Amino acid sequence: MIKLFRALLIFMVVALSANHALAVNGTVTSGKIDPLPIAITPFIANAGSENDAAAISGVIANDLARSGYFSPLAPESFIEKITSFDQTPNFASWSQAKAQALVMGNVTGSGDKITVAFKLYDVNTQAFLGGSSFTAPSKLSRRLAHKVADLIYNKITGFAPYFDTRIVYVDETGPKNARIKKLAMMDQDGFNPRILSNGKEILLTPRFSPTTQEITYSAIGSDSSRVYIYNIDTGQKEIVGDFKNMSFAPRFSPDGQKVIMSLESDDGRNANIYELDLRSRQTRQITNEPSINTAPCYSPDGSRIAFESDRGGSQQIYVMGADGSNQQRVSFGNGAYSTPVWSPDGKYLAFTKQSDGGFGIGIMNVDGSGERILTEGFHNEGPTWSPNSRVVMFFRDTRGETGGAQLWSVDISGYNEQQVPTADFASDPAWSPLLK
């Protein structure tokens, strides 16, 4: 059955690819599959590790459920009780409980270290699909749980993992006409939030470096908007470049050696894209147009840059060589297109689209073909990709004085919209690469 499940997923991916040639402005209407019922048995724990064990199996179940590809069964429906990690499961009993996959786990705490081991079975074929064991400092137990969930997700769907990742975003508090906007970071599932700035500046568009050790963002202070790099380990921040004009919309290059951003022109009427080499501190102008050129994003191999420009009268997405050569408009649907973000696998651009339908989030092939709107409504903006190119996160604003931005994610099939829990309003999410 798991093989069939995986075959269906592959079929869905192929079907989505086939759609590219046909759909121009379509919303995804095919590709929904039923999530796989999976039994995550209570993890066996040594004395003193019971709470950790319960928390870890909870994190795993939550990750798998949120992906949209799994339906963790309620433990009350389990017939067999797993009492030993070495026990051979009674597969007929698990089949009767409607499980198609079975996870057994073992948690051993020792001093300030914790070890998590797991085994994954196909209930119908009784095949052992895989297992592994991880050890880390106890305070990282949630990360171990994400790693186990990543392996289960990968074994069953065939997709690359993405649970052991973080989100950098902007935490929003205060009234709508005077929002306090702070740099913040959390685990991909909304846990372990940390506020990293004091709120004195209006903090916007944070993005991780490829190593996830640094964050670049722009901040509006009392006299201008500037681009910064923040070091997560040291808590130090530095201004990127010595520009007299306003700088904004930064992003790291894939090798982490450069930051690309927009700079306001000397006459204050235009914005063009510049690249700053972090080692040599040399600045290079990449676009030179009498228009607004912003939201630049490198391709994963660093050879190209996607960005938005209003040079043709409205915001549209363009792609060019990393040296500024061959600037080509790629968005041609009805509406304004902005905030292009290259998928980590290089295949797609995610974008914000303003049209009669409001503000939508979509993806398209890099040449602009195969546009698909994943979600649409009053205000959706600012997509970012999971490192496996399967999930797009964005922010959704709600109306009214008491409304505000919240983080959501959606599968690239257009299914499985999920709110990402945050304590305050939140905007401008950016996904980290898979953590090392």
Which of residues 264, 275, 371, 411 is near other proteins by CB under 8 A? 264
CA–CA gap between residue 337 and residue 405 (Å, rounded): 20
Cβ contacts of 5 within 8 Å, gap of 6 or more: 33, 36, 100, 156
Strand 36-40 to 101-110 pairing: parallel
61 vs 271, beta carbon nearer other proteins: 271
Q: Is 400 in the site for other proteins (CB under 8 A)?
A: yes
Ranges of beta strands (E only) in 145-236 are 166-173, 180-187, 194-195, 202-208, 214-220, 225-231
The secondary element (H helix, E strand) that includes residue 155 is helix 141-157
Q: What is the DSSP string of 7-76?
A: HHHHHHHHHHHHHHHH-SSEEP-S---PPEEEEEPPPEE-TT-HHHHHHHHHHHHHHHHHHTSEEEPPGG
Q: Is 342 in the site for other proteins (CB under 8 A)?
A: no
Binding segment for other proteins (CB under 8 A), chosen from 11-19, 83-91, 161-169, 198-206, is 198-206
Q: Is 111 in the site for other proteins (CB under 8 A)?
A: no
Q: How far is CA 35 from the centre of its chain?
A: 21
CA–CA gap between residue 123 and residue 36 (Å, rounded): 12
Q: Is 354 in the site for other proteins (CB under 8 A)?
A: yes
242 vs 401, beta carbon nearer other proteins: 401
Least separation in angstroms between residue 267's CB and other proteins is: 7
Q: Is 352 in the site for other proteins (CB under 8 A)?
A: yes
Cβ contacts of 158 within 8 Å, gap of 6 or more: 6, 9, 10
299 vs 338, beta carbon nearer other proteins: 338
Q: Is 184 in the site for other proteins (CB under 8 A)?
A: no
Q: Is 204 in the site for other proteins (CB under 8 A)?
A: yes
Q: Which residue has the tokens 């040296």?
A: 323
Binding segment for other proteins (CB under 8 A), chosen from 25-33, 59-67, 120-128, 242-250, is 242-250
What are the two backbone dihedrals, phi and then psi, of residue 372, each rounded to the nearest 5 degrees?
-135, 125
Q: Is 174 in the site for other proteins (CB under 8 A)?
A: no
Q: Is 355 in the site for other proteins (CB under 8 A)?
A: no
Q: Is 287 in the site for other proteins (CB under 8 A)?
A: no
Residue 138: exposed, middle, or buried by beta-carbon count in 10 A (0-12, 13-18, 19+)?
A: middle
Q: How many residues at the interface with other proteins, by CB under 8 A?
A: 46
Q: Is 428 in the site for other proteins (CB under 8 A)?
A: yes
Q: Is 295 in the site for other proteins (CB under 8 A)?
A: yes
Q: Is 269 in the site for other proteins (CB under 8 A)?
A: yes
Residues that bind other proteins (CB under 8 A): 176-179, 181, 202, 204-205, 218, 220, 222-225, 246, 248-249, 262, 264, 267-271, 292, 294-295, 308, 310, 314-315, 338-339, 352, 354, 378-379, 381-382, 397, 399-401, 403, 427-428
